[in-house]
Amino acid sequence: MAFRFLPLLVQCAKLRHPFPSKLSSISTSLHHLSDSFFSEELFPDRQKTISNLDEHLVLEQISELLPIAKCASQNTILKDHESKSAREPVDGFLSPEEKLRGVFLQKLNGKAAIEQALSNVGVDVNIDVLGRVVNSGNLGGEAMVAFFNWAIKQPMLPKDIGSYRVIVKALGRRKFFKFMMEVLDDMKVNGLEADLLLLFIVIDSFVRAGHVSKAIQVFSNLDDLGLRRNADALNVLLSCLCQRSHMSAASSVFNSMKGKVSFDVTTYNVVAGGWSKLGSVNEIERIMKEMEVDGFHPDCRTFSLFIEGLGRAGRIDEAVEVFNKMQEKNCPADTETYNAMIFNFVSVRDFDESMKYYKALLSNNCEPNLDTYTRIIIGFLRARKVADALQMFDEMLRQGVVPSTGMVTSFIKHLCNYGPPYAAIVIYKKVRKLGCMISMNAYKILLMRLMKFAKCGMLLNIWQEMQECGYNSDIEVYECIITGLCNIGQLENAVLVMEESLQKGFCPSRLVYSKLSNRLLASNKTEIAYKLFLKIKHARSLKSARSFWRSNGWHF
């Protein structure tokens, strides 16, 4: 019964089609098809000898008889799409480091095949690209070493100790210690000797992973790295152990190296600093006595560590006595010692005393440094004394101390944890006026806070300034902007921002999309909501395809 309307179609074709000659053949063919079908209905026994008609076959024959010419607009769109596809490579949405890491998804066999595939990617490898490849992604140790062996042969990558530091640090961070030691052996074969910074990276990798005995073994076998076992190398080992609070191992190494290595004041200060972090005043006093027995005199660094240790132990009064007796021991207080006193009083939120020592620092012709203002301002912010923090920030700028990127991020993060974002914007504008670099994390924190307080104008201004600084918007930034625009009812602008994010390959979360879609439907903007739904549907399919190709390899 599917073709009972075929005679009617024939009559319509006779009335509308302007070409009678071709129409007669079409009519004849349609009558044959209808006769064939109806004959099967009238004579069911013919079904045994005649195969069933395939509806798809009939439709194909009709489409041949009634060809539909493609419109000019369709041809233009297809040509534009084909030309765009020809211009853009298939993996054009990938970054250089993703293209290089993608080679190892193919599980190629042989060093020559891997190096040939890496060369075919067509990416110029420098020290920055090397760092991005090995520090992100999920490459294994063997793949990282294979990539580095190929990269070190490239003309733009320097064949010096700096390149080896990058790969050694990346391997150590992921606990690929076997491959890390192989790279060190290859470095020695290539005629490069390790320096103290590389030694710190190797030892700190073992200590961070809890392999303290292996870290000490590396120090015992310094000849393999081309280094001498002196006070500088010992200080590197002790600093790594003390920073990770392995004080028992640090004390054991310190005691075992007496008489074997010539100590200096820094050696004692490193161990004293480790005990100071734990507030172990008795151990600090023991170290200071050993210094005097061995013929060394405590310096300002030693006293500052002692004062901080007393503060952490809650013995502020004794810290004040030690500070006052420094002049008697021919060791006048310097900036670091004043910072220790300021830290002690800030930690107990006695800001009057901390400001007293800050003024004494200025009156004694000691220049405050970045650590001085960081401790005071962070203390004010933790106590939610925003006005005092802003006043001290202005004082810091008047003294000519330029805040670092991490310091600005820390200030903005504390200010955005409570209250409106006014104070954070004040610091942001002053820092930007100075020309200081602002991190992407700081921009995200500001955007999130402005979005929650529905400050849409400031939100868009900060977003524009972020892009002017060279930062590219990611999915978090786009979701923040879309949510902020939705909160104030600028739905059409929110749709434009979402379309921009989709064009850049970022698909917002279902929560953000549903919020915008519901707002559009509630505002009787059904057509816009439907068009956005189609774009989101297409974007999600592309996202799934990209995830699939990322996991299965996209270069071959």
Dump pLDDT digits (tens) for 97-114. Answer: 888 888 888 788 888 888
H helices of 351-455, in order, are 351-363, 370-382, 386-398, 405-415, 422-434, 440-452
Verify that 498 and 418 share a domain, yes or no: no
Mean pLDDT of 68-85: 44
Q: What is the pLDDT of residue 173?
A: 93
Type of residue numbered 87? R
Verify that 105 and 159 share a domain, yes or no: yes
Structure tokens at 38: 């109806």
Answer whether residue 318 is part of any domain: no
Host H or E run for residue 289: helix 281-293
Give Cα 371 distance to the centre of its chain. Answer: 26
Structure tokens at 424: 């954070």
Dist CA 387 CA 415 (whole Å): 11
Verify that 447 and 513 share a domain, yes or no: no
Quickly tell me which residue has 């590219």 as its tokens. 472
* Burial per residue of 155-175, b for 16 or more beta-carbon CB atoms within 10 angstroms, e otherwise: eebeeeeebbbbbbbbbbbbe
Answer whether residue 484 is part of any domain: no
* Burial per residue of 330-353, b for 16 or more beta-carbon CB atoms within 10 angstroms, e otherwise: ebebbbbbbbbbbbbbbbeeebeb
- 3-class DSSP state for residue 525? coil
Asked whether 449 and 421 are in contact (CB, 8 A), the reply is yes
Mean pLDDT of 110-131: 87
Q: What is the pLDDT of residue 328?
A: 78
Verify that 172 and 103 share a domain, yes or no: yes
Dist CA 393 CA 450 (whole Å): 22
Asked whether 225 and 184 are in contact (CB, 8 A), the reply is yes
Answer whether residue 347 is part of any domain: no
Tens-place pLDDT, residues 12-53: 444 444 444 444 444 454 445 444 444 444 444 444 444 444
Q: Can you say whether the dihedral through the CA atoms of 53, 56, 57, 63 is positive or negative? A: positive
Q: What is the pLDDT of residue 345?
A: 94
Answer whether residue 429 is part of any domain: yes
Dist CA 477 CA 429 (whole Å): 20
Dist CA 271 CA 257 (whole Å): 13
Counting every residue written for the chain, the total comes to: 556
Lowest model confidence (mean pLDDT) among 80-84, 214-218, 263-267, 473-477: 80-84
* Burial per residue of 367-405, b for 16 or more beta-carbon CB atoms within 10 angstroms, e otherwise: ebeeebbbbbbbbbbeeebbebbbebbebbbeeebebee
Answer whether residue 263 is part of any domain: no
Which of 192, 215, 236 is the endpoint of a domain? 192
Verify that 517 and 457 share a domain, yes or no: no
For 426, residues 6+ apart whose C-beta sits below 8 A from its C-beta are 390
In this structure, what DSSP letter does residue 230 have? S
Verify that 497 and 467 share a domain, yes or no: no
Which of 414, 443, 472 is the endpoint of a domain? 472
Measured CA angle at 157 (ends 155, 162), to 5 deg: 150
Q: What is the pLDDT of residue 93?
A: 63
Verify that 467 and 531 share a domain, yes or no: no
Q: What is the pLDDT of residue 545?
A: 80
Dist CA 197 CA 162 (whole Å): 10
Q: How many CB atoms lie within 10 A of CB 364?
A: 12
Q: How many domains does the chain have?
A: 3
Verify that 183 and 103 share a domain, yes or no: yes
pLDDT tops 70 at residue 521? yes
- 3-class DSSP state for residue 261? strand
Dist CA 301 CA 306 (whole Å): 9
Domain enclosing residue 454, as ranges = 380-472
Answer whether residue 18 is part of any domain: no
Average pLDDT, the chain: 83
Q: What is the pLDDT of residue 295?
A: 87
Answer whether residue 301 is part of any domain: no
Tens-place pLDDT, residues 390-436: 999 999 999 989 999 999 999 999 999 988 899 999 999 999 998 88
In this structure, what DSSP letter does residue 70 have? P
Answer whether residue 340 is part of any domain: no
Q: Can you say whether the dihedral through the CA atoms of 477, 480, 486, 488 is positive or negative? A: negative
pTM confidence score: 0.73
Dist CA 130 CA 140 (whole Å): 15
For 433, residues 6+ apart whose C-beta sits below 8 A from its C-beta are none
